[in-house]
A and B are shown apart, each in its own frame.
Chain A
């Protein structure tokens, strides 16, 4: 017994090393999934505040360009049909209509931190649960989809970028209607892959890919990207499609968070059927 304790004491550093490695592995395997990651993500108060200070400083460098893009986008909104509207307040706007029921509302948010050159990329927004955000909301930019909210605190939200293989979004080819999953395995911030589109679907370079909708995250027909190349690798059931993303992920200044107003209703219904 004594020898055992002496032995354990002698290898105490190795034991500590293994224990710490164990803790980090637990964090690694539990933390990086979609929902969990409570404390250790950039939506916590310290990291969020620091990143928003940084953004306050770096914002001055590209004010001109941001203004031009906002002006262009405003013009675009004005040209739309009257049923479309621009968000005017910092809370989700709800419009009551007796003929149509509004399903989605949008909240503008500022990107305070983002990466695009890593194998898994994240974005931090300057709005949080105080503005009505919660996890699993879609985030879209002026040109196309940006990501999905993973975690929120009172004033910040952490978003899994579409440049992250952990998020797969349902998309469809607008012309043919075939649907697949947007999956980032290209390691290139301007392109992404679409998987699970069967080989008989005649998809060509130049086709537009849009979101499927109906998943409670993104509305239908939000632009995603344009097909760059289509390949038929042998031994695979689906085509290897590469798309060029419409949204330039390396420069997302302002984005919109999508709130599905019927989400709660749907979730309760689905849960009732899952329960037994």
Chain B
């Protein structure tokens, strides 16, 4: 319990630092690809976390992200929407025998098919919400849509990369 909490807190700090200090300053393809790797904090929260905890974790992470990017409420709303989608998605794509206690939504534990389905859907929800709230209008709909899609693909790639690079530790920590 304590170990899980500490692992998640550590992940929170590390991923937010990477996001704020490095990724927010990447200028990939003139703003067409903006990665938001920090969503991995929320993606990797344990299954047994109650729904209210998941929602509050989403709100808090989004708020901290807003603090660093001068966008009050923007990341917060996107993260809350994503966590709400996660609650429902987890029950939709649960394995036949349910989630075991202590099982975590990581790539080595759940397999690549499950993880990519899970991560890509949630990242897509988060990014579409975020980018449309950010531009705050629908008149350049397809441009914003394409930006969200490209950015989501980039974020997913970074999430997979992070999982591959840290997978050994994950197995040991259980």
Contacts and interface: CB of A to CB of B under 8 A. Distances in A.
Contacts of A120: 70-71, 134
Interface string A19-37: 0110111111111100001
B153 interface: no
A234 B81 CA distance: 41
22 contacts: A13-B51, A13-B55, A17-B80, A20-B76, A23-B59, A23-B73, A24-B76, A24-B80, A25-B77, A27-B72, A27-B73, A27-B76, A28-B72, A28-B77, A32-B72, A32-B73, A40-B72, A42-B68, A42-B70, A47-B20, A188-B30, A189-B30
Contacts of A31: 72-73
- Most chain B CB atoms below 10 A, which of A30, A115, A188: A115
A159 B87 CA distance: 38
B24 interface: yes
Interface of A: 12-13, 16-17, 20-21, 23-32, 37, 39-42, 44, 46-47, 50, 54, 115-120, 122, 158, 187-189, 250
A23 B66 CA distance: 13
A24 B134 contact: no
Given A21-B77, A42-B69, 9 more contacts: A17-B55, A20-B80, A21-B81, A24-B73, A40-B67, A50-B68, A117-B27, A158-B70, A250-B27
B34 A117 contact: yes
Contacts of A20: 55-56, 58-59, 76, 80
Contact of B67 (A26, A28, A32, A44): A44
Contacts of A46: 67
Interface string B36-56: 000000000000000110011
A24 B56 CA distance: 12
Interface string B76-110: 11001100100100000000000000000000000
B14 interface: no
B21 interface: yes
A189 B71 CA distance: 19
Interface residues of B, number: 34
Nearest to B29: A117
B135 interface: yes
Nearest to B33: A117
A39 B72 CA distance: 9
Nearest to B77: A24
A117 to B, nearest CB: 4
Contacts of B77: 21, 24-25, 28
Interface string B6-36: 0000000000000011001101001100100
A59 to B, nearest CB: 13
A188 B29 CA distance: 11
Contacts of A188: 30
B159 interface: no
B122 interface: no
Nearest to B30: A117
Nearest to A40: B72
B152 interface: no
A54 B52 contact: no
B156 interface: no
A38 to B, nearest CB: 9
